[in-house]
Amino acid sequence: MSTSRSGDRDRDDEGRARNARPRDGLGRPLPYGTPGVDRQPEGVVRTAAQTVAEAQALLDAGRPFHAHEVFEDAWKSGPEAERALWRSLAQLAVGLTHAARGNITGGARLLRRGADGLAAWPGEPPAGLDTAGLTAWAEALADRVERNGDAVDAARSAPRLRTAP
């Protein structure tokens, strides 16, 4: 998808507003012309296993904002019965993003919101997702960022999405 500038706003091929500024690894906009990291394509339909594998690779690389976009694709395109799960995972990734950017209050709030959603998940989650482990991780990270008041390293703080084999 290409993006062009029209007036004061960037637009995609359909004319929708779409920011074309490059982004850093935590999704923060950079000035035009500055090298950034590749953005995740939007609207990609993946299997649950593909979603988890791609999101884990991005989390491990310290790119939780981009992992959020992968979860958001699953949330929007996946089965209706799984949407709350993928939304909760997207909230965890955004919570980690905010915590890594130094937004302690927003990061902790989103981590807890995602944890609450995962804790409410009924039954067996798809693709071996470790909802109990992720819930515990999110609550512990929220407590840590509130207690310390410092930004976290996104890669070092990244969760394991699946249960250990």
Distance CA 93, CA 159 (A): 9
Distance, CA of 25 to CA of 39 (rounded, Å): 9
Tens of pLDDT along 66-116? 999 999 999 999 899 999 999 999 999 999 999 999 999 999 999 999 999
- Supply the DSSP string of 123-154, one letter for each residue: SPPGGGB-HHHHHHHHHHHHHHHHHH-S---T
The alpha carbon torsion through 55, 89, 121, 138 (nearest 10 deg) reads 110
| Residue 42: predicted pLDDT | 83
Q: Where are the alpha helices (DSSP H) in the chain?
A: 48-60, 64-77, 83-101, 104-119, 131-148
CB 74 within 8 A of CB 82: yes
Average pLDDT over every residue of 15-40: 83
Contacts of 156 (CB under 8 A, 6+ apart): none
Q: Is 12 a residue whose pLDDT tops 70?
A: no
Q: How confident is the model at residue 135 (pLDDT cuts 50, 70, 90)?
A: very high
* CA separation for the pair 63, 36 (Å, rounded): 12
Question: What residue ranges define each of the domains in the chain, with the CATH number in brackets?
Answer: 1-39 (no CATH), 48-148 (1.10.3450.10)
pTM of the model: 0.86
Element spanning 163, H or E: none
At residue 43 the predicted structure's pLDDT band, cuts being 50, 70 and 90, is confident
Q: How confident is the model at residue 25 (pLDDT cuts 50, 70, 90)?
A: confident
